Amino acid sequence: MNFVELLTQREFLISVLAAISAAAVVFTFGSSFIVKSEMKGRIKRVALEREKMRAEEMARLRGNSISDSRGTMRRSGETKTYMKTVVDRLDLKKAFQDDATVDKLARAGYRGQGHLTTFLFMRLAAPIIIFVIATFYLLLITPGDRPLYLNLVYAVGAGLLGAYLPNVLLKNKTVKRQFSISRAWPDCLDLMLLCVEAGMSVEHAFKRVAREIGQQSAELAEELTLTTAELSFLEDRGRAYENLARRTGLDNVRSVMTALIQADRYGTSVGQALRVMAEEGRETRMMDAEKKAASLPPKLTVPLILFFLPVLFIVIMSPAMIKIFGTPNNPMGG
């Protein structure tokens, strides 16, 4: 009972909120130092994906299944054993996985069987965990005067909302990743055009641009590095371009990859296709900037009415009000 009273005290809640605020400030300033380690992790994952594609291609050419079994063992070791056991025994792939699940995970930067198993496990575990936490909070910490069945209804509602939590987090991650890629994509096209017109092959152009664009967008550099590996190991170059468009899920990237596929299939100039797409990318970016600039006046109207105009009225009318109410009443007039 003392623990419950401690959790409900105002001073304790204020201390917890202050600690959370301090942790948020530390995390905000420390996130810039975490970028380097995150970049190393991305490079390591790209290297693993490249080795996996190399092993699969060598196994296909030699007709040997040893490399494929090793790749399967490595992919299965990427996730926790208990997660894989739960997913296999409850057959969560049939319950939660559809044809677009793998593509959605790839657009968020999660590739491989390990991430798929973790996502399916979280689809099952998230509502259960949130239901338990909500039940504990409603029944033990803040029971109030509500009946038991009402608390259980609230807990079940929280659990149902928790079922959408993995999808919401995945969508948020996908949006952030696509924003980073789309913001750096016009510059990427310009660099690729320079490399191709300088005499580089498409593979070397992708490799060079991936090295240069990493400071601006680590996500785009990762995708370009994977595309370079696929161009090196896959027989069909168009398949590598299609995989890049599928992993990003962006229309401007898909249009450029379609132009490269057509240039490779019909023997047209790659530089000319990249020049046209680079000009369209610059025009699209300029149109987006103009659209954002045009949308500023309507967005600023409400903040100006709510925050700026009252302060302006106070500043203008305060001297007159102080003079009127500050003058002592003198009925004799003198």
Q: Hey, what's the torsion of the CAs at 303, 305, 306, 312, to 10 degrees?
A: 110
AA letter at 249: G
How distant, in Å, are the alpha carbons of 2, 111, 206, 207, 227 from that of 211? 58, 21, 9, 6, 13
Tell whether the model's pLDDT for residue 60 goes beyond 70: no
How does pLDDT run across 167-209, given as a tens digit for each residue? 999 999 999 999 999 888 888 988 999 998 888 888 888 888 9
How does pLDDT run across 113-162, given as a tens digit for each residue? 888 888 988 988 999 999 999 888 888 877 777 788 888 888 899 999 98
Tell whether the model's pLDDT for residue 274 goes beyond 70: yes
Planar angle of CA 103, 223, 174, nearest 5 degrees: 45
Mean pLDDT value across residues 61-69: 46
Q: Hey, what's the torsion of the CAs at 323, 326, 329, 333, to 10 degrees?
A: -40
Domain ranges of the chain: 178-286
Tell whether the model's pLDDT for residue 286 goes beyond 80: yes
Whether 109 and 223 have beta carbons less than 8 Å apart is answered as no
